[in-house]
């Protein structure tokens, strides 16, 4: 049996990942997000606002109780939930929204990694963490200070945790993965910004108009296939398109 814990599964990439993980009877699925507790195919959804640190620690206690005494072939944490807002120059940003961005995109994934590594030690033969990052963490985009900073922080946290695991001979695979541009609600938020706040607006509108956004189901399928083939290991900061292309080239 494999354990998957996935955040942000109400829509977009997270929804597609959860649906595909839930299809296999070999997988136990725990999803985390703001909607109330509910059963899901393959497991359970636990309600939590990831920006609320106390609530997040409590939901981690609940996960520990759920998995206590079980043994898994593989345990995988996917930190997928994300938020792009606030968009615009920092002096115009709402302070609480800015803080919320960093909480959801950076603090929550770090707290979840901390609790996941503790809870799954000796419980799963193989452990993997996939942090859904962004190209925006690797180059600045005007108007996205919080999002770029949070994703850059997530990349660096991933690199550091990979080193920690290696130094302590813990066989944990950790990757911060930029998924490419996906046709989700987040891109809708991006396109609804004012050009004065977001100078790259036209470029994102063009990508959409030219049909260059990938479908969330296809991206989820690629991530889960590469994960199951063990191909997300190696580089702690990676780009899905490059990993997939390397695989395709090797197969030729
Ligand atoms: N779309 C792209 O082009 C793109 C490109 C690069 C990277 N990414 C990354 O890919 C990941 C998925 O993005 P997406 O495009 O699928 O976004 P999305 O459609 O906006 O979905 C975001 C998910 O995160 C959840 N979430 C946001 N704030 C939350 C909170 N405080 N507590 C719990 N859940 C919360 C949302 O739940 P609610 O329904 O409760 O809001 C939703 O399920 C993100 O990490 C994003 O940064 C996306």
Q: Is residue 60 part of a domain?
A: yes
| Contact in structure between 172 and 128 (CB atoms under 8 Å) | yes
Q: Is the CB of 212 under 6 A from ligand 1?
A: no
The pLDDT score that the predictor gives to residue 249 is 77
Compute the distance between CA of residue 175 and CA of residue 237 in angstroms, rounded to an integer: 6
Structure tokens at 57: 């620690």
How many angstroms separate the alpha carbon of residue 249 from the centre of ligand 1?
Answer: 31
The torsion of the CA quartet 77, 214, 148, 138, rounded to 10 degrees, works out to: 90
Substitution site in 7, 9, 13 for ligand 1 pocket (most atoms within 8 Å of beta carbon): 13
Q: Is the CB of 182 under 6 A from ligand 1?
A: yes
The pLDDT score that the predictor gives to residue 251 is 73
Q: Is residue 121 part of a domain?
A: yes
The pLDDT score that the predictor gives to residue 125 is 95
Distances (CA, A) of 250 to 43, 45, 243, 247: 36, 38, 11, 5
Q: Is the CB of 46 under 6 A from ligand 1?
A: no
Would you tell me the crossing angle of helices 95-102 and 145-167 to the nearest 10 degrees?
A: 30
**Domain containing 153 — which CATH number?**
3.40.50.720
The pLDDT score that the predictor gives to residue 5 is 99
The pLDDT score that the predictor gives to residue 50 is 98
Q: Is residue 246 part of a domain?
A: no
Q: Is residue 150 part of a domain?
A: yes
Q: Is residue 252 part of a domain?
A: no
How many domains does the chain divide into? 1
Give the position, in ligand 1's atom list, of the atom nearest the Cα of 104. 31
Q: Decide if 72 is catalytic.
A: no
Q: Is residue 223 part of a domain?
A: yes
Q: Is residue 111 part of a domain?
A: yes
Q: Is the CB of 56 under 6 A from ligand 1?
A: no
Q: Is the CB of 49 under 6 A from ligand 1?
A: yes
Compute the distance between CA of residue 124 and CA of residue 114 in angstroms, rounded to an integer: 16
- Cα Dmax for the chain: 55
The pLDDT score that the predictor gives to residue 169 is 78
Q: What is the span of the domain harbouring residue 95?
A: 2-180+216-241
In the set 4, 116, 144, 147, the catalytic residue is 147
How many angstroms separate the alpha carbon of residue 105 from the centre of ligand 1?
Answer: 9
The pLDDT score that the predictor gives to residue 167 is 87
- Which ranges of the chain have pLDDT less than 70? none
Dihedral of CA 180/136/56/174: which sign? positive
End-to-end CA distance of the chain: 33
Radius of gyration of the chain (CA): 18
Q: Is the CB of 217 under 6 A from ligand 1?
A: no
Q: Is residue 196 part of a domain?
A: no
CA-proximal residue: ligand 1, atom 16 (nearest): 12
Substitution site in 175, 184, 222 for ligand 1 pocket (most atoms within 8 Å of beta carbon): 184
Compute the distance between CA of residue 104 and CA of residue 56 in angstroms, rounded to an integer: 11
């Amino acid at each position: 049996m494999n354990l998957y814990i996935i955040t942000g599964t109400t829509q977009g990439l997270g929804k597609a990942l959860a649906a595909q993980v839930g299809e296999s009877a070999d997988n136990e699925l725990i999803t985390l997000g703001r909607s109330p507790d509910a059963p899901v195919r393959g497991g359970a959804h636990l309600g939590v606002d990831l920006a609320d640190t106390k609530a997040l620690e409590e939901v981690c206690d609940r996960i520990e109780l759920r998995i206590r005494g079980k043994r898994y072939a593989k345990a995988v944490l996917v930190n997928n939930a994300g938020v792009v807002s606030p968009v615009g120059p920092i002096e115009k940003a709402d302070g609480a929204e800015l803080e919320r961005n960093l909480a959801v995109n950076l603090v929550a994934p770090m707290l979840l990694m901390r609790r996941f590594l503790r809870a799954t030690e000796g419980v799963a033969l193989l452990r993997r963490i996939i942090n859904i990052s962004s190209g925006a963490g690797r180059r600045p985009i005007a108007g996205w200070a919080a999002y770029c900073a949070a994703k850059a922080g997530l990349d660096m946290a991933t690199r550091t945790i990979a080193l920690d695991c290696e130094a302590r001979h813990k066989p944990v695979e950790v990757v911060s993965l930029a998924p490419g541009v996906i046709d989700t609600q987040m891109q809708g938020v991006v396109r609804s910004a004012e050009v004065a706040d977001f100078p790259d607006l036209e470029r994102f509108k063009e990508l959409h108009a030219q049909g260059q956004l990938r479908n969330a189901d296809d991206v989820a399928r690629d991530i889960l296939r590469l994960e199951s083939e063990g191909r997300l290991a190696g580089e702690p900061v990676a780009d899905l398109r490059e990993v997939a292309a390397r695989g395709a080239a090797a197969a030729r």
